[in-house]
Structure 1
Amino acid sequence: MNTPAIRVLLVDDDPLVRAGLRIMLGGAPDIEVAAEAADGAEVPPLVEAHSPDVVLMDIRMPGVDGLAATRALRGRERPPDVIVLTTFNTDENILEALRAGAAGFVLKDSAPQEIVRAVRKVAAGDPVLSPAVTRQLIAQMSDGTKRHARTARARLAALGQREREVAYAIARGSSNAEIAAELHMSLATVKTHISRTLTKLDLNNRVQIALLVHDAGEDSP
């Protein structure tokens, strides 16, 4: 039985960017561009009509921007995954998009195979951020206020000891295999702790776990 194609919604106010993305993704046999939008306001009805698996979302649009559109999708019962499109990897809005629930970001000038790989990874449940990029974003763009720290610490306090250890390892950029070796637990147990942590903290992915730990301003549980 054939595996269903990954359905993608393209959201960008520049028709040339959308055309380029359509061409890039069109060459992949397992990806289908289900629909296109020029503004974040068009996203909810298009998601309702086409049920995309992944949304490639521009941040900067003149009407409803990508941040607001991503937050709106988070309110859905079963939202599609969002990959943020940006021109610069230092865009100050990327961090807010990740906090809003985006599964990662890709640069608009990325090689076609990188964009295709990003769509496949997110559709498979993996965030599109390397540990190095995660650390760079956190270091450059977190505001580090005391209010953020107090809130983050209170939320992390709801976790069990082992869950906190896994959360802090994620924030250090460790992979699941590295966490398993470091904490002397099986890979399945690491995945269970991550799943429970996401549920308890109402988060979407491990990137948001890393951001929360950084906001707490602590190096270890």
Structure 2
Amino acid sequence: MSHRLGDDAGRTPLLRPDWGYVDPPALDAFRAEDWSRLREQRRIFDAEQHVKHVLRLLEASAADPSFGYQVNNFRHCLQSATAAMIDGRDEEYIVVALLHDVGYTVCPTNHGAFAASLLGPYVSDAARWLLEHHQIFLAHHYNDHPEEADNATQRELWRGHPHFEATAGFVERYDQTTIMPGQPEAPLASFAPMLARLLSRPPRLIIPRED
């Protein structure tokens, strides 16, 4: 039994009724007018949908159970962002706090890189570095961990880096402590305007590093 979401031809509905589909069955058959249509329609699509899609990544875990922490990852992220907001941090910092663990449940072994890839084109080099490395820096706080003792010193590989202290400070204040009930948790919707302003910045190209 097949399930179809869309019109009688099986096509997904377009965001706007005055938009058109492109017809070629493969990318290498697209014509210049197809690419032009996609470019123009995507410009509007991203402007209207990007924030919703990003917030939905986090919101999808709102009702998740916990594997032992007293709050789940969604609430941890809200607590982190709320603490940054209460401390008077700027909007970029608050959004970074909100989304630093957005990949925690779907990309647990490399969630720092996940968040850095998501926000990297829109944030400063310092914020992108923080996102990418915060997972490693967090191990510094794994006191008496039976399996992570060797990882606790990994952050020392970057001591002296321009963003070392800022990343260590973020983890100290906004990551390792925001895991308990009773801490302020602003609603997710309150961060949407901040995220919208961040994602409205012209994205910069992030070139992957060579191994």
Q: What TM-score do the two structures reach when normalised by structure 1?
A: 0.25
Larger RCO of the pair (alpha carbons < 8 Å, separation 6+): 2
Pair member with larger Rg: 2
Q: What TM-score do the two structures reach when normalised by structure 2?
A: 0.26
Structure with greater strand percent: 1
